[in-house]
Amino acid sequence: MADAASTSGCEGTGSRVDELKSYGVLGSRPRGTVEPHGFEGLDAGCWEDSGEAQLYAERTYVFPGDKADVTQHYRAAAEREGWTPSPATRRSPEASRSTNLCFTRGEADNAAMLDVYFLTEEILDAEESKAGPEFDTGAGYRVSVTASADGSATSCSD
C-alpha cells in the first residue's frame, strides 16, 4: 500500500489498471449482446478529477432483449467471481428491469468496485459520445470496474 499511496496521481498505475482489466466479468455478456460502433473493445486507464486519481476498466454493450436479463446475467457473473453486492443491489428486486448494480471486492490496496448500469442520453451527452444505430435495437449498458489510484477503500454510493 505504501507504493500506491506514494504514487502521484496516475503515475505508475499501469500494473493496477492491468489487474482491473483482467476481471472476467468485463467480458461476460448475455447471448445476443453486441459492442456498439465507437465503443468496441475494453477501455481502461486512469483519470484525475479534483486531485483524486481513479483507475478504470470498462466495456459498453447493447442488449437486444429485456433489461431484466442483463441484470440477472451480471448478478450471477459477479457472484461467480466473488464480488459482494451493495446493500441497494441486495435489496433491489431480482427481476427489476432497469436496476443499476454495484458490487465491491478486495480490501485496502486491492479494493475495487463493479458497476453495471444502463446508459441514458444524458450520460452519453456528458461523455460527449453519440449513440449509434445499435442503441436503437436494445438497451445500452456499461460494465465498469474502478479503483482508487492511491489504494484507498472504495464503496458503492447506496
**CA-to-CA dists, residue 9 to 5, 19, 47, 110, 112, angstroms:** 10, 18, 8, 17, 17
Q: How many residues does the chain have?
A: 158
Q: What is the pTM of this model?
A: 0.86
Mean pLDDT score, 3-18: 74
> At residue 96, what is the residue type?
S
**Confidence at residue 107, expressed as pLDDT on a 0 to 100 scale:** 77
**Confidence at residue 97, expressed as pLDDT on a 0 to 100 scale:** 55
Mean pLDDT score, 22-37: 95
Domain ranges of the chain: 2-148
CB contact at 8 A, 79 and 72? no
Q: pLDDT higher for 87 or 55?
A: 55
**Confidence at residue 3, expressed as pLDDT on a 0 to 100 scale:** 42
- Is residue 46's pLDDT more than 90? yes
**Confidence at residue 8, expressed as pLDDT on a 0 to 100 scale:** 62
**Confidence at residue 108, expressed as pLDDT on a 0 to 100 scale:** 66
Cell of 106: 478486495
Neighbours of 66 (CB within 10 A): 14
Residue with cell 461476460: 28
d(CA 26, CA 33) in angstroms, rounded, equals 13
Residues 6+ apart with CB under 8 A from 51: 9
- The C-alpha angle with vertex 26 and arms to 65 and 43, in degrees rounded to 5, equals 105
Nearest to 53 by CA among 116, 11, 112: 11
Phi-psi category of residue 132: left, alpha or beta, with phi > 0 → left and psi -120 to 50 → alpha: beta
